[in-house]
Amino acid sequence: MTKPRVLISDKMDPNAARIFEERGCEVDVITGESPEELAARIGEYHGLAIRSSTKVTPAILDAATNLKVIGRAGIGVDNVDIPYASGKGVVVMNTPFGNSITTAEHAIAMTMALARQIPAANTRTQNGEWPKKDFMGVEVTGKTVGLIGAGNIGSIYASRALGLKMKVIAYDPFLTEDRAVEMGVEKVDLDTLLSRADFVTLHTPLTDETRNILSRERLENAKPGIRIVNCARGGLIDEVALKDCLESGQVAGAALDVFAQEPAKDSPLFGAPNFICTPHLGASTTEAQVNVALQVAEQMADYLVNGGVTNALNMPSLSAEEAPKLKPYMALAEKLGSLVGQLARGNLTKISVEREGAAAELNGQPITGAVLAGFMRRYSDTVNMVNAPYLAKERGLEVSEIRHEREGAFNTLVRVTVETDAGPRSVAGTLFGSGGPRLVEIFGIGIEAELDGDMLYIVNDDKPGFIGRIGTLMGNHAINIGTFNLGRRDAGGEAVLLLSLDEPLGADVVAEVEQAEGVNLAKALVF
């Protein structure tokens, strides 16, 4: 049997090549090629191992006629066109947890540098000054540090901060009280965190929910003299507002490893008082680079030689025998998880996945993994079926699987329920016809709808004329409605409307819908 061939196109630890060879692959290490050179070469290979330098574009993928898997040594996959790779049948893997310790340690280092103004003191001392009186720092001992995000990296930072005798408070929608106690931190809401914290450190991905989470309003209303550290993602902080708050003294100092635009050649923060920065060095340690290189080699070799799938961003972990039966159920489960994740609010502590009818006879783990992948995706752009359960567990989210042998109104049914501060919220779906997933219930209201693309969810009063008003509103904005799906509890009571749309809704349109007569809630959804 011909050995799979792997190309390592970016510099990484040489032990990665050794692992490929030991696992039964042929490997070439050819780095620094132009896109044209890579395109001319890639057709020979079954696997491509990269870091951040190689850009896997549609042109590269079109030329990669034998490519089966791309492995990114690290977490970020912005340099890979994942949808196009999926269309080509190419699996994309990453190593989401290989640099967690390194990133947390960098955030600790930035915290200490900020507290003692080390960069500025170093510069002036080396310039021949002795500016001792100009640098009065602060101790971190006894200070309160607020974590925005208490996942893997955030929890590591917390343990180090506790070792420094700091008090740790945390804001994370998925952090349960039990997990907070286990970590030794206090769970609080975001406003409370900003009002109490002496230091704030961010450990959350960049999503629509977290973009500018430290907005101008929040920065201006935070505790005076707060110090801010961001080694997570650029775009989490309003950088112009942060500059203004540094100049006014509202924010005593800021340390950033990441920027909204990178490379950051011209940031509004450059030159601001008490500002320090590094060029995205969070994962830049020898140990982290070794870890991610070895992990990606092991994952890719396992897939190419044995068919095993680990940390894939566009493919579930499945055996060849299970895949045909499970894939339509996983498509349904992921959409249900995404729906409840987009709609449920409050402190989410528990999630359950129930299967009945034909679904009860299948392996429940991939179905639950698909639910969690959909549910967690709004909080992490790198979530997949493999790491979603891990992310849920580290946040203390209680996950349960329930199998019912009974058959109800449908031959097969999957139900997803989350526990919120307002009580349980559940959605349910089934498979119709040739396996197409359909929503059949949302928060106790029967409704039949496909969950696909851009949609608008409306809770409204069941009154005459409502449908016409919404249709007219969409028409006034030149937005075409694909499908119009209705459900209600009782005549004249609460009703639900799900619209599929041909284009995304802007925030202004959603706001206008919310102001329409009879509307209690409106929210744009994306599947």
Domain-located, residue 487: no
Domain-located, residue 166: yes
Domain-located, residue 199: yes
User: Are 84 and 120 found together in one domain?
Assistant: no
pLDDT tens figures, 48-63: 999 989 999 999 999 9
Domain-located, residue 324: no
Q: Which domain holds residue 27?
A: 5-96+287-306
- In this predicted structure, what is the pLDDT of residue 96? 84
User: Are 124 and 190 found together in one domain?
Assistant: yes
Domain-located, residue 397: no
Distances from the Cα of 232 to the Cα of 257, 427, 461, angstroms: 8, 33, 43
User: Are 26 and 175 found together in one domain?
Assistant: no
- In this predicted structure, what is the pLDDT of residue 345? 79
User: Are 209 and 235 found together in one domain?
Assistant: yes
> Taking 70 as the threshold, does the pLDDT of residue 201 lie above it?
yes
Placement of tokens 């509103």 in the chain: 473
The per-residue pLDDT of the chain, averaged, comes to 92
User: Are 152 and 301 found together in one domain?
Assistant: no
User: Are 65 and 146 found together in one domain?
Assistant: no
Q: Residue 33: which pLDDT band, with cuts at 50, 70 and 90?
A: very high
Domain-located, residue 61: yes
pLDDT tens figures, 241-299: 999 999 999 999 999 999 999 999 999 999 999 999 999 999 899 999 999 999 999 99
Domain count, the chain: 2
> Taking 60 as the threshold, does the pLDDT of residue 450 lie above it?
yes
Query: Judging by beta carbons within 10 Å of its beta carbon (0-12, 13-18, 19+), is residue 248 exposed, middle or buried?
Result: exposed
User: Are 176 and 151 found together in one domain?
Assistant: yes
Domain-located, residue 9: yes
- In this predicted structure, what is the pLDDT of residue 171? 97
| pTM reported for the whole predicted model | 0.76
How many residues belong to the chain?
527
User: Are 30 and 123 found together in one domain?
Assistant: no
Rounded average pLDDT over 402-430:
89
CA angle 123, 125, 127 (to 5 degrees): 70
User: Are 112 and 247 found together in one domain?
Assistant: yes
> Distance (Å, rounded) from C-alpha 99 to C-alpha 409?
48
Half-sphere exposure for 444 (CA within 13 Å, toward CB) = 9
> Taking 70 as the threshold, does the pLDDT of residue 435 lie above it?
no
User: Are 54 and 107 found together in one domain?
Assistant: no
Is beta strand 494-501 parallel, antiparallel or unpaired with respect to 481-488? Answer: antiparallel
What positions carry a catalytic annotation?
233, 262, 280
> Distance (Å, rounded) from C-alpha 491 to C-alpha 463?
9
Q: Are 512 and 473 in contact (CB under 8 A)?
A: yes
| Single-letter code of the amino acid located at 366 | P
Dihedral of the alpha carbons of 256, 262, 265, 268, in degrees to the nearest 10: -50
User: Are 268 and 163 found together in one domain?
Assistant: yes
**pLDDT greater at residue 268 or residue 96:** 268
**pLDDT greater at residue 124 or residue 209:** 124
The CATH number given to whatever domain includes residue 148 is: 3.40.50.720
| Single-letter code of the amino acid located at 254 | A
- In this predicted structure, what is the pLDDT of residue 363? 86
User: Are 114 and 240 found together in one domain?
Assistant: yes
Least confident range from 152-161, 214-223, 405-414: namely 405-414
Placement of tokens 């170093």 in the chain: 122
Domain-located, residue 301: yes
- In this predicted structure, what is the pLDDT of residue 448? 93
CA angle 503, 505, 509 (to 5 degrees): 140
Q: In degrees rounded to 5, what are phi and psi of residue 388?
A: -60, -45
